[in-house]
Chain A
Amino acid sequence: ELKVEQNPLFLSMQEGKNYTIYCNYSTTSDRLYWYRQDPGKSLESLFVLLSNGAVKQEGRLMASLDTKARLSTLHITAAVHDLSATYFCAVDSRYNNNDMRFGAGTRLTVKP
Chain B
Amino acid sequence: DTAVSQTPKYLVTQMGNDKSIKCEQNLGHDTMYWYKQDSKKFLKIMFSYNNKELIINETVPNRFSPKSPDKAHLNLHINSLELGDSAVYFCASSLTSGGPFIQYFGPGTRLLVL
Q: Chain A residues in contact with chain B, CB under 8 A?
A: 31, 33, 37, 41-45, 48, 50, 86, 88, 90, 97-102, 104-105
Cα of A99 to Cα of B44 in the assembled complex, Å: 10
Is residue B56 within 8 Å, beta carbon to beta carbon, of the partner chain? yes
CB neighbours (8 Å) of B44 from chain A are 102
* A42, B56: Cβ atoms closer than 8 Å: no
Q: List residues of chain B with CB under 8 Å of any chain A CB.
A: 41-45, 55-56, 58, 90, 92, 99-108
Q: Could you name 25 residue pairs across A and B whose Cβ atoms are closer than 8 Å?
A: A31-B101, A37-B41, A42-B106, A42-B107, A42-B108, A43-B43, A43-B92, A43-B103, A44-B105, A48-B100, A48-B102, A90-B43, A97-B56, A98-B55, A98-B56, A99-B45, A99-B56, A99-B58, A100-B45, A102-B42, A102-B44, A102-B45, A104-B42, A105-B41, A105-B42
Q: Is the interface of B mostly helix, strand, loop or mixed?
A: loop
Q: When chains A and B are docked, how far (Å) is the Cα of A31 from the Cα of B10? A: 32
B42 touches A33 (CB 8 A): no
Instruction: Please tell me if the beta carbons of B43 and A45 are within 8 angstroms of each other in the complex.
Output: no
Contact A102 B55 (CB under 8 A): no
> Which A residues touch B56, using CB under 8 A?
97-100
Note all chain B residues with C-beta closer than 8 A to A105: 41-43
Given A42-B105, A50-B101, A104-B41, 10 more contacts at CB 8 Å? A33-B103, A42-B106, A42-B107, A43-B92, A45-B102, A50-B99, A86-B41, A97-B56, A99-B58, A105-B43
Measured in the bound complex, the distance between the Cα atoms of B88 and A41 in whole Å is: 10
Which A residues lie within 8 Å of B92 (CB)?
43
Measured CB to CB, the nearest residue on chain B to A43 is B105
Name the B residues within 8 Å of A45 (CB-CB).
102-105
Residues in A with CB closer than 8 Å to B43 are 43, 88, 90, 102, 105
